[in-house]
Structures are given as structure tokens and as C-alpha cells.
Amino acid sequence: QDNRISIWSAGDLGNAGLNGEYHGEPHLLCDIQHNGDVMDMQFLDQERIVVASSTGTVTIFRHHQNNQTLSADHRWVKAHYHVDQDTSSGGAACTGVVCNNPEIVTVGEDGRINLFRADQKDAVRTIDNADSSTLHAVTFLRTTEILTVNSIGQLKIWDLRQQRNEPSQIFSLAGDRVPLHCVDRHPNQQHIVATGGQDGMLSIWDIRQGTMPVSLLNAHEAEMWEVHFHPSDPDHLFTCSEDGSLWHWDTSTNVSEKPSFLHQGGRSTAYLSHSTMNQSVVSAWLSNDPTKDRMEITNLIPNQTLSVNSLDVLGPCLVYGTDAEAIYVNRQLFA
């Protein structure tokens, strides 16, 4: 009933001991009350966090680092709603938010897409009936295009420059309309997109061709809640699930035999300069059977039983939250 947004300090990486274990307790810097369940949140910049609520409201909170407090900077009340914005109930959960400062895109159970700017009171653009079903997640494809996934197994591309309220492309899972819960695009090769859904499968799509996924990979035994490519090392992908598992998918094996498509932060930096990065370097994610010879999958929490609801990854750090009301930080991803 009583929800809060909290900022934690997970301590300094410099404190790690000789064999890499971490010393020092995380501590709470500040927190603030939040109305409704927190459905999603993302940093807009160093100081501001955009938070999506089950009440349909979207709030920008500001973290004041000088005195370690949080305050509500701006609020779009009932950005998502079922019947009409002015009725007392009527709010529809805002299920997903994505930021590209100063722009913020939100999606919700009402099938609505909003484009906000952090410095403007009203929505820059609203696509009212973007979808007839719940939109579960959203991410930027490029600065003017977004990807959404919905509860009937569709992945859609929207071009925000177009005034039309229709998607520019629709992709869908064949057959059963399995709800999709999460989406992420490859950081270097923007035509490669990963999604996960209610059946726990990982789908990899090439949005340049066809309308169906290029590969469907058996993953979790229950809903997949989140999928993330590693931002600087996208041969690595992470998924987490209701079944209590968190999988690390690694396609960087056999690097010596096959040129990797990584050109930053990867092991193959020495062999591949930008000039040789041409289309002949095919991503491991798009091969017909990525798991064959090419992929290692590790469950990072082997004996967890409760749902892993969310994860994020940066550098060697993986952070995830579970139904055990705990947040875990794994600092040795590539040990």
C-alpha cells in the first residue's frame, strides 16, 4: 500500500578485496513516497528519474545530491486512463517508460502512447488508440522511432515524425498470440531486437526482413519479465523470469574462429577496426540457430525460487530485484 522511490549507494568499486569480493554495505541515501505501484522507471539524466505508476501518472523525481533528498519535479497526472482523464477513478497503469533526454515516451494498459518533453507541461504528442490491447513495454529504435510490444504477441515500430496514428511496421509471433512483456534493441546493430513474453521464450527479430522472429529460443519456464543486451558488450544478453532464474546468454564464444561483430569493449577490439565493420560480419544473434556451437547460457541464480522482476546491467555490474523484497548486485559478470 505504501510505496517509495529510493536512491541507494552501492559503495565504491575500489573497495573490492583481492579476490574480487565486495566489502561495504549498500546504504539508503534518500527516499520519497510514490502513489501507486512503480511499474517502470528510468534515469532521464544524472539528477532526474522518470517513474511510471499503476495509477496512470508519470512523475519526474529530482535527486538533490547536495543534501541527499528527492522531490517531485513534474507530474503528468493520469497520462494513461481508461474512460476519461477527469473521472476520479479511471486511471490505467502506465506499464513502460523510456527516456532520451529531454524526450520521454510512455505506454500503458490503455493502449496509448505519449510523447512528453521534460520541459513542457503538456504532452507533445499522444497516440490515443495506438493499440487495442495492453502495451507492455517500449524502447527507442532511433531518436525518432520507438518499438512497442503488446499483449497479443506483436512488436510495432512507430515513427514519431509521422502524424499518422498507425505504426510504420508490425511484426508478430506466429500462431498463438503470446503476450510480449519486454523488448530491447541491440546497441550497435539497431535492426536486431530481442523480446520476451509470457511463455518464457526469447525471440530475436531482424526488423529489416520479414514480419516474424528470425529465432525463437527456449528459455524460461514462466513469464520473461525483462531482456537486456549488455550496452557496451552486446554479445552478451540477460533475461529474467517469474520462474526465479536470471540467464546470461553469451554468443562471444569461438571468437578466434569467427569474427565478432563487436567493435567496442569486446575481446576482438584488436582485430576489427571500424573500416572492416561491413555487412559481411554477421551477428551471432541472427544465425539460423544461434545456440549451435556459438552460445553459452548460464543461470546466474541457480537456486532462486521467487520471481526475478527486473534487471539492469552496466559494465561488470548486474543489478536485479526479486519477490524476496531484495535487490542484488553482481559485480563479477565477466569473472
Residue type, 118: A
Write down the pLDDT at residue 175.
77
Q: Which is more confidently placed, 251 or 33?
A: 33
Q: Worst-scoring range by mean pLDDT, 113-122, 204-213, 242-251, 260-269?
A: 260-269
Q: Which is more confidently placed, 116 or 295?
A: 116
C-alpha 98/C-alpha 228 separation (Å) is: 14
Q: What is the pLDDT of residues 68-125, one digit of tens each?
A: 999 999 999 999 999 776 666 678 999 999 999 999 999 999 999 999 999 999 999 9
Mean pLDDT of 33-50: 96
The CATH number of 1-14+22-130 is 2.130.10.10
Write down the pLDDT at residue 88.
64
Mean pLDDT of 10-21: 57
Confidence of residue 22 (pLDDT cuts 50, 70, 90): low
Residues of the chain with pLDDT > 90, as a percent, come to 64
C-alpha 11/C-alpha 331 separation (Å) is: 12
Q: Worst-scoring range by mean pLDDT, 66-75, 155-164, 170-179, 234-243?
A: 170-179
C-alpha 239/C-alpha 312 separation (Å) is: 10
Peptide bond into 102 cis (omega under 30): yes
Sketch the domain layout of the chain as residue ranges.
1-14+22-130
Confidence of residue 160 (pLDDT cuts 50, 70, 90): very high
Q: Worst-scoring range by mean pLDDT, 155-164, 180-189, 248-257?
A: 248-257
C-alpha 131/C-alpha 136 separation (Å) is: 11
Conformation bin of residue 285: beta by default, left when phi > 0, alpha when psi is -120 to 50: alpha
Residue 334 pLDDT > 70 = yes
C-alpha 35/C-alpha 51 separation (Å) is: 10
Q: What is the pLDDT of residues 193-239, one digit of tens each?
A: 999 999 999 999 999 988 899 889 999 999 999 999 999 999 999 99
Quote the pTM value: 0.86
Write down the pLDDT at residue 268.
28
Count of C-beta atoms within a 10 Å radius of residue 246: 24
Closest CA to 188 of 255, 266, 246: 266
Mean pLDDT of 124-129: 93
C-alpha 176/C-alpha 328 separation (Å) is: 35
Cell numbers standing for residue 48:
532526474
C-alpha 80/C-alpha 54 separation (Å) is: 9
Write down the pLDDT at residue 316.
86
The 3-class secondary structure across the chain, one letter per residue, is CCEEEEEEECCCHHHCCCCCCCCCCCEEEEEEEECCCEEEEEECCCCEEEEEECCCCEEEEEEECCCCEEEEEEEECCCCECCCCCCCCCECCEEEEEEECCEEEEEECCCCEEEEECCCCCCCEEECCCCCCCEEEEEEEECCEEEEEECCCEEEEEECCCCCCCCCEEEECCCCCCCEEEEEECCCCCCEEEEEECCCCEEEEECCCCCCCCEEECCCCCCEEEEEECCCCCCEEEEEECCCCEEEEECCCCCCCCCCCCCCCCHHHHCCCHHHCCCCCCCHHHCCCCCCCCCEEEECCCCCCCCEEEEEEECCEEEEEECCCEEEEECCCCC
Q: What is the pLDDT of residues 300-313, one digit of tens each?
A: 987 878 999 999 99
Mean pLDDT of the chain: 85
Residue with cell 532464474: 245
Write down the pLDDT at residue 292.
56
Cell numbers standing for residue 220:
524460461
Mean pLDDT of 49-61: 97
Write down the pLDDT at residue 114.
97
C-alpha 135/C-alpha 146 separation (Å) is: 13
* Residues 6+ positions from 58 with CB-CB distance below 8 Å: 50, 51, 52, 75, 76, 79, 94, 97, 104, 106, 114, 116
127 has which bridge partners?
A: 113
